[in-house]
Structure 1
Amino acid sequence: MLRWLIVMFLALMLLSWLSPFLRRLGFGQLPGDLRFRWLGRDWDVPLASTLLLSFLVSLIMKLL
């Protein structure tokens, strides 16, 4: 369980560091992605981008 939490924490850190680069590539700007401002902060919920990225990763893993 602890190992899973560490992996999730590292993945979230990596995603937050790469988010400016991914945004330039179009991640988070698909029609199903949500962006709103609440409590003075901008919040992004990339639903469609996450589904697309998950599909691509699973397709690559099946091909390997």
Structure 2
Amino acid sequence: MSQSTGKYLIVIGLVILTFGISIYFMGDKLRWLGRLPGDIRIEKENLKFFFPITTMILLSALLNLIIYLFRKFLG
């Protein structure tokens, strides 16, 4: 493995650690995540269906921004 691979693994680990710590300490404040307008929720007697389309689009845009910034400043 090259040194750049090690650098990427360290950065990915720090990002995961940051997300984990923020969820641990601010989990009760993140209840809106998954309940945004546009998230599909169907609840019937025998069926519960949940498809968080808006949340997935928001997280995808955020992840793309993070990857873009890493490539711009670290690459």
1:30–1:49 CA contact under 8 A, matched in 2: yes
Letter in 2 for 1:32: G
Correspondence 1:32 to 2:38: yes
Q: What amino acid maps onto 1:63 in structure 2?
A: L
Aligned residues: 43
Higher mean alpha-carbon deviation, 38-47 vs 50-59, is at 38-47
**Highest RCO, 1 vs 2 (Cα 8 Å, sep ≥ 6):** 1
Matches within 5 A, 1:23-62: 24=28, 25=30, 26-38=32-44, 40-62=46-68
1:41: how far off?
A: 2.8
SS, match of residue 43 in structure 2:
strand
Q: TM-score, length-normalised on structure 1?
A: 0.56
Identity %: 35
Q: How far 1:38 sits from its partner (Å)?
A: 4.5
In the TM superposition, structure 1's runs of 4+ consecutive aligned residues that sit over 6 Å from their partners are: none
| Partner Cα distance (1:34, 1:41) in 2 | 13
> Which runs of 5 or more residues in structure 1 are unaligned?
1-20
Q: Which has the larger radius of gyration?
A: 2
Indicate the RMSD between aligned Cα atoms, in angstroms.
2.2
Higher strand share: 1
